[in-house]
Amino acid sequence: MTIAELDNTARMAACPLAGGGTAERVWTAAGVSLPPLDLRDCTELVVVGAHPDDETLGFGGAVASLAGSGVPVQIVSASDGGAAFPDASPLQRNRLEKTRRGELHEAAALLGALPPISLGLPDGEIAEHEQRLADLLSGVLATRPPGTWCAATWRGDGHPDHEAVGRAAAVAAQRTGVVLVEYPVWMWHWALPNDGAVPWQRGYSVPLTASALQRKVAAAQCFHSQFTPPSPGADPVLPPYVLPRLLAVGEVVFR
């Protein structure tokens, strides 16, 4: 990881979601060209996200594609996403966690993945439990057969939880000898084409069929709690431009 990547949390913090971030047209006009990722050696996949929906938004097309070709895919969510609404009461937070677990199960089924594993770490505080997460992921990966890959949120994604998951997954992958790839989610919001904080030299594009993209869109729509305003006049957690932008840029991993 480069020194520039260590400062990406500040870039993300300085670019609030309400501000729109890097517009979809900026990315599409730039036409970022990366070599295709060869997934033929991946015999099983473990996809790790910080919150329910990370795996779908960042890597759902690849999950659908691999699952559709008979590759077992296990989704692991480090947290249940209960801190999406910071002012929520403990009861409201518990209800949201239950809702988001249910949404994740629905999305995983649509993508063709196995029933997801929820580790229950505290949303917004994953970095404080990074060692435990690395141990838990090591346990998950150690039971998988040779040829298993792990896909996790990128260590430079700008969101502290995403970065902590990426670091923990890197430790677990090194311990168990599995191939690690990291997928960005929020990078597309705060970064720019040819951005020096992004390791494009390690980047690969993920080729996706129309069918895989359709399943990704259907799975993303399972996360009603994130795309729907919690009350009249309120803003949703994920603004309406988020999904179209992620679909426009496609799926990218760093390896």
Q: Is residue 88 part of a domain?
A: yes
As a whole number, mean pLDDT of residues 64-91 equals 92
What is the rounded average pLDDT for all residues in the chain? 94
Q: Where does the pLDDT of residue 233 fall: very low under 50, low under 70, confident under 90, or very high at 90 and above?
A: confident
pLDDT given for residue 18 in this prediction: 85
Mean pLDDT, range 44-68, rounded to an integer: 98
Residue 15 lies in a domain: no
CA distance 86 to 90: 10
User: 119, 97 in Cβ contact below 8 A?
Assistant: no
Q: What is the pLDDT of residue 229?
A: 87
**Buried/exposed 139-163: b ≥16 CB within 10 Å, e otherwise:** ebbeebeeebbbbbbbbbbbbbbbb
Check residue 6 and give its pLDDT.
55
E-strand spans in 112-216? Answer: 117-121, 148-153, 179-183, 203-205
Average pLDDT over residues 160-183: 98
Q: Give the count of beta carbons closer than 10 Å to the beta carbon of residue 249.
A: 19
Question: Any idea which of 23-27, 159-163, 232-236 has the lowest mean pLDDT?
Answer: 232-236
Number of domains comprising the chain? 1
Amino acid at 56: T
Q: What local confidence, expressed as pLDDT, does residue 48 receive?
A: 98
112 in a domain, yes or no? yes
> Is residue 197 in some structural domain?
yes
For 180, list phi and psi in degrees, rounded to 5: -110, 130
Highest mean pLDDT among 17-26, 75-84, 86-95, 157-166: 157-166
Q: Is residue 92 part of a domain?
A: yes
CA distance 18 to 156: 21
Decide if 56 is inside a domain: yes
Is 20 a domain residue? no
- Where is pLDDT greater, at 232 or 26? 26
β-sheet bridge partners, residue 46: 74, 150
Calculate mean pLDDT across residues 178-186: 98
Cα(254)–Cα(210) distance, rounded to whole angstroms?
23
pLDDT of residue 235: 87
pLDDT of residue 3: 41
Per-residue DSSP letters for 56-76? HHHHHHHHHHHHHTT--EEEE
140: containing domain: 40-254
User: What CATH number did the domain enclosing 179 receive?
Assistant: 3.40.50.10320
What confidence category does residue 240 fall into, taking pLDDT thresholds of 50, 70 and 90? Answer: very high
Q: Which among 79, 208, 224, 204 is positioned nearest to 151, based on CA atoms? A: 204
Asked, for residue 76, whether it belongs to a domain, the answer is: yes
Whether residue 185 contacts residue 162, with contact meaning beta carbons closer than 8 Å, is answered with yes
